[in-house]
Structure 1
Amino acid sequence: MMTFKKTIIIAGLFIAVFTSGADSFIISPLLPEIAREFGSSISQTALGVTIYALCYAFGAPIFGPLGDRYNRRKLLLSGLSIFLIGTLLCAFANSLVAFYIFRAVAGIGAALFLPNVWAFIGGYFEGKQLNKVMGIVMSALSLSIAVGVPLGTFLSQLSDWHMAFFASAGIAVLAFIILLTILPSTKPSGATNKGYVANFITVAKTKNAIPALLITLFWMFGFYSIYTFLGSFVNEKFHLNLVAIGYIFVTYGLSNFVASFFGGNLMNKIGHKTSVIVNGIISILFIILMGFSENSLTLLIICLIVLAVAQGFGVTALTTYIVGIVPDNRSTVMAFNSSALYLGLTFGSAIGGLIFQSIGFNGLAVGSAIGLIIAVLITIKLKETKNA
């Protein structure tokens, strides 16, 4: 039964996850203005995005075992506090170097915060309720994709780029107050008697743990290799302006949000593994179709919406599966899952760029599909967790 207390906890986690996700996207439309103020190039300013991502990707595995040894409430709130401070300081940055440092602080906070969110949900909720809650909270990331860029643009127009970071910090404060008030303490898992390194060894030796993390890696590689260059393709092929392209990405984000929000209902009916496989196959088919829709913008948008829904259902099911693989080391395994996601994004964008330049969008679609095919094949070999 979903009590009032649990509902407020979910709301607090949703707001916090939304803030950490939106923080990565609101900066995109602000880059030219920030570059002008600091007297730097846009590419130099954009390193702030890279620094945030790298601190998150490499910080998460370092902090992961802490959530399995200590009270997750304290770690979750500590991470959110560090993220909040880093984001707020970005608003006061008076040089590019200071901006880099404060983005790094925010990334470190997110690295401590987000893996413990998923681990907390996995330990506090059970069965069908776990599936629904994971879907709802994960949909916050989808919503941040949809509204992050337009939100950053709107806030900067109210004043300047500083306003966007003030607003992001303000939302983080709201989430912090809610979670500080109602988030329950959690007892450390059975991993407390193990050494720090032993947490990594346990995850590595647990059956299905490494394969599941590889699914995330290849899935994200496949998705981001084509998603990263979608805007460039649409602009080049259909000559749309930035506003029109923005609407296309908002459409994707909102479709993905709805699917993620209700992803738990699908998991409860068909299970984690089946949901990942089915939605992975749908993603593969529509990515290939999207690659050959270069003569029809309508067909491309339809493919993108279907892809958004499949990704929303599939990624939610995959994350819920992974959080249950190693019950005593949830924070550690979710930290590595976060790193796998960012590594997939990094390699997908880098290799996708080479394919896009040398072969074109058709070849990019094939390369993207190959990544997802590998992810689906690995999934077929996995066994369901007890929460399925």
Structure 2
Amino acid sequence: MNKLIVLFFLIMFVIGTDTFLISPLIPTLQTAFGVPTGIAGWMIGAYTLGSAVFALIAGPLSDGWDRKKVLLSGLVCFAISTCLCGFASSFWTMCLFRFLAGVSAAFTAPQVWASIPTLFPPAKIGKALGVAYAGLAVSQALGVPIGSMLAVGRWSLPFWTIGLFSLLLAAAACFVLPTMKPLEQPAAKPSLFKRYVPLLTSGKARGTYLAYFFVHLGSSAAFAFLGKWMTDRFHLSVDETGYVILFLGLGNVLGSLCSPYVLKALSQLQTMTIGMLVVIAAYMALPYVSSVLAVKAVYFLIFAVLGVLFPLMVGLLNSLNPTIRGTISSLATSTMNAATTFGAWSAGIVYSLFHGYTAVGLFAGISLACSLLVFIRSGALAKPQKHADPTPGRAT
């Protein structure tokens, strides 16, 4: 069991690192490819677009296939496409390889969340899910800064390193993971998209996913051009920007560790309302801080609060319909990546049109305010449950 926990942690770590890596590299890649600020965000958006679109297909398919084979295939393709990013010779080839990496991640990450309840006894499911989610948080705290430092020598090195490490993980998974065939083999397989009907016909589910979209839209827009802003405002190098991102990851880790205790002390509605208001105020104040130290402090606060809120959000998603776990996980992944795609694209346009980060911070604040309002109106927070399962990852 310990081998499985470590394997799932490392898989989420490499996927998280690859997802967030582009942000500190944007100034470097703009120079290398001669890309204007207005479209530079598509180097992030191409990855998340591929993941968003194909996660909708991967979820229903994986519910009827051997999850081990799906995970292995996705991880090998993820490794190859990420390595190819290091060989990109232009902006458009980089976008293509990032898109393929996103498609591969769409077939990999949801299998982690859906496999854990199958492979672990009930008493250990919460711990295993928490460790896997920590892989994402640690990827921000350590993976992205390490990637930034590697990029000082050559911008291609982080992509090659992630790709090769992912191949090693695929080899390990081949030996460690057991076969996970579907429990039922119906004579007539349901339509791929019929699995989404229970979610699409529920007003509560639609509202919860829309609110989840808005929170990722705002936070992704702010994060996408953090590296660009740090370079323009404080003249930081790519490795120095990586040190700033280290504080984001540390805040996220701290928040995720504190989340169960906060949810025991406060209701879901209180936690969501207070947390969102704090993050909204922080995002809107961020462009006006005058030092790198203050930026680190504000972003540490933002991601510590988000680290508390995200487990609550995925818990709400997971409670919508426990019988279609793979489909819920994939739709949540698709929602998150669609928001990240649109957020990165919007941030590039806003940053370019308004000549700076102030409008990006305002965009992030408005997006999170919309998320809070939709969460409340959806009814997902109508019944405070202090003892609800706060375990992250069940629906991402």
How would you bin the TM-score normalised by the shorter chain?
0.7 to 0.9
Alignment match, 1:110:
105
Distance (whole Å) between structure 1 residues aligned to residue 4 and residue 103 of structure 2:
23
Amino acid at match of 1:379: F
Q: 1:370 aligns with which of 362, 366, 370?
A: 366
8 Å CA contact retained: 2:78, 2:101: yes
How far is 1:199 from its partner? 0.9
1:182 aligns with 2:176: yes
Structure 1 residues 211 and 31, CA gap change in structure 2 (3 angstroms)? closer
8 Å CA contact retained: 1:53, 1:342: yes
Gaps of 5+ in 1: none
> Could you tell which deviates more after superposition, 39-48 or 15-24?
39-48
Q: 1:327 aligns with which of 322, 326, 344?
A: 322
How far is 1:165 from its partner? 3.3
Structure 1 residues 209 and 362, CA gap change in structure 2 (3 angstroms)? same
Alignment match, 1:69:
64
Q: 1:145 aligns with which of 137, 140, 146?
A: 140
Structure 1 residues 367 and 105, CA gap change in structure 2 (3 angstroms)? closer
Q: 1:169 aligns with which of 159, 163, 171?
A: 163
How far is 1:58 from its partner? 1.0
> Could you tell which deviates more after superposition, 251-260 or 105-114?
251-260
Distance (whole Å) between structure 1 residues aligned to residue 29 and residue 182 of structure 2:
43
SS of residue in 2 equivalent to 1:208? helix
Alignment match, 1:342:
337
Alignment match, 1:286:
282
TM-score (norm 2): 0.78
How far is 1:15 from its partner? 0.6
Alignment match, 1:218:
214
Structure 1 residues 332 and 102, CA gap change in structure 2 (3 angstroms)? same
Structure 1 residues 170 and 245, CA gap change in structure 2 (3 angstroms)? closer
Distance (whole Å) between structure 2 residues aligned to residue 126 and residue 40 of structure 1:
50
1:200 aligns with 2:204: no
How far is 1:275 from its partner? 4.5
How far is 1:242 from its partner? 4.8
Deviations 1:212-244 (A, max 9, x none): 211211101222233334444445555555554
8 Å CA contact retained: 1:26, 1:151: no
TM-score (norm 1): 0.80
Gaps of 5+ in 2: 391-396
Deviations 1:72-100 (A, max 9, x none): 23222221122123234455668887665
SS of residue in 2 equivalent to 1:325? coil
Q: 1:16 aligns with which of 11, 30, 36?
A: 11
8 Å CA contact retained: 1:352, 1:364: yes
Alignment match, 2:130:
135
> Could you tell which deviates more after superposition, 149-158 or 48-57?
149-158
8 Å CA contact retained: 1:132, 1:262: no
Amino acid at match of 2:246: V
8 Å CA contact retained: 1:72, 1:120: yes
1:41 aligns with 2:34: yes
Deviations 1:193-225 (A, max 9, x none): 532221122321245322221121110122223
How far is 1:112 from its partner? 0.7
8 Å CA contact retained: 1:203, 1:332: no
Deviations 1:113-168 (A, max 9, x none): 1122222235556878544433332232232233344433444566x555433321
8 Å CA contact retained: 1:203, 1:329: no
Distance (whole Å) between structure 2 residues aligned to residue 245 and residue 218 of structure 1:
26
How far is 1:264 from its partner? 4.9
Distance (whole Å) between structure 2 residues aligned to residue 22 and residue 275 of structure 1:
28
SS of residue in 1 equivalent to 2:63? helix
Distance (whole Å) between structure 1 residues aligned to residue 224 and residue 197 of structure 2:
34
How far is 1:60 from its partner? 0.9
Structure 1 residues 77 and 219, CA gap change in structure 2 (3 angstroms)? same
Amino acid at match of 2:194: A
Q: Report the RMSD for the aligned CA atoms in angstroms.
A: 3.8
Distance (whole Å) between structure 1 residues aligned to residue 265 and residue 175 of structure 2:
34
Structure 1 residues 225 and 22, CA gap change in structure 2 (3 angstroms)? closer
Deviations 1:6-29 (A, max 9, x none): x32221111111112222344566
How far is 1:314 from its partner? 1.2
Distance (whole Å) between structure 2 residues aligned to residue 307 and residue 95 of structure 1:
34
Structure 1 residues 81 and 274, CA gap change in structure 2 (3 angstroms)? farther
Distance (whole Å) between structure 2 residues aligned to residue 76 and residue 58 of structure 1:
17
Distance (whole Å) between structure 1 residues aligned to residue 106 and residue 184 of structure 2:
22
How far is 1:309 from its partner? 0.3
Alignment match, 2:393:
none
